[in-house]
Amino acid sequence: MKTQVAIIGGGPAGLLLAQLLHTRGIESIILERKTRDYVLARIRAGVLEQGLVRLLQEAGCADRLHAEGHVHDGTLISYGDEMFRIDFTDLTGTPVIVYGQTEVTRDLYAARDAAGGLIEFNAENVVIHDADSDRPHVTYSVDGMARRIDCDFVAGCDGFHGVSRKTIPQDVRRDYEKVYPFGWLGILSETPPVNPELIYANSPRGFALCSMRNENLSRYYIQCPTTDRPEDWTDDAFWAELKRRIPADQAETLVTGPSIEKSIAPLRSFVTEPMRWGRLFLCGDAAHIVPPTGAKGLNTAASDVHYLYHALRSYYETGSQDGIDGYSAKALARVWKAERFSWWFSNLMHRFPDHSEFDQKMQLADLAFLRSNRAAQQAMAENYVGLPY
């Protein structure tokens, strides 16, 4: 087979890139290691920056988002029983949209189907060849049958454990990583959210987050040791611990119920440089990971897609290589700012095993300053709703 852009990874980043390219008549083939049902079963965050919303609009995939998504004009931060609000709309003029990543992926699959675009599911043994030449190609197998795609460019949207990043030689790339000494235990429940807006909670017992997908589907998290397993926590134990970590008035109104999904996510900050090698480009988790604090993972992948889409569009429409040559530097400049925000917010809200009493006092002072200082709130709000592309 032959195409203009081979896209490795059929998650939201790869699907969005493919659909945007399709709107400009640029052909692509997507390779996905798993099945469609597997991809759609993955539970991920659902806070969307306006930049991502605009990209979905440009891709023609935002109708259901606008009909079913929830506009959030602010978020709540608590420490102990104290709670204050960061008003995004007042501080920046911009809200965020709560709409599950699974639903974004579902909409993008529907658009890909309508466009007649090819997705090869169950693609195994993927190898990217000659990425540093002007004739790259990708080999893989489906059901034991070997296949090959010749292409102009390869977009690596295959996540942290994918093959794309590893294709870049180790003497070319450099990895930067911070592993956090805790994880997030999360549950999904068919219950109304405790509050119409998200609550980020700093507690002496550890961090907690109250979030939602819709009026009858809630997502809750608590900080836990990395040695814990989901089966170590009964639903009753989870709800009891969550109530201890959020303000008493919120705990009193919390509606509990059986969990329909329970998992533990480790936290890490990770960036690889560069994000381009020859005609191979990395997007999203293939190039960087952020802690989930502040919901920057999908949104940062979207900014990569924005830069790569415009680079490829310029190449095919005008013959210019400027966007391609500048892709890595542009993407990384924004990635590192998102990494900084997620790192800062994670340090502000979590209890670390080695925290001294001094560290805890500094954390509380930082929260008190954020509560009382409009400039600090504006800086946080600007980062939360999304820095410009």
Q: Contact at 8 Å (CB) between 167 and 252?
A: no
> What are the C-alpha distances in Å from 325 to residues 65, 152, 224, 228, 276?
34, 15, 43, 44, 8
- Relative to beta strand 5-8, strand 28-31 is parallel
Catalytic residue (choose from 109, 220, 316, 384): 384
Catalytic residue (choose from 99, 200, 307, 327): 200
309 an active-site residue?
A: no
129 an active-site residue?
A: no
Q: Which two tokens stand for residue 2?
A: 């032959």
Catalytic residue (choose from 22, 137, 288, 296): 296
72 an active-site residue?
A: yes
Q: Contact at 8 Å (CB) between 230 and 236?
A: no
CA 241 to chain centre: 26
288 an active-site residue?
A: no
C-alpha span between 296 and 43 (Å, rounded): 15
Q: Can you give the C-alpha Rg of the chain in angstroms?
A: 21
Catalytic residue (choose from 220, 292, 315, 316): 292
292 an active-site residue?
A: yes
Q: Contact at 8 Å (CB) between 52 and 302?
A: yes
Catalytic residue (choose from 22, 72, 306, 350): 72
Q: Phi, psi (5° rounding) for residue 316?
A: -75, -30
- Residues carrying an active site annotation: 72, 200, 292, 296, 384
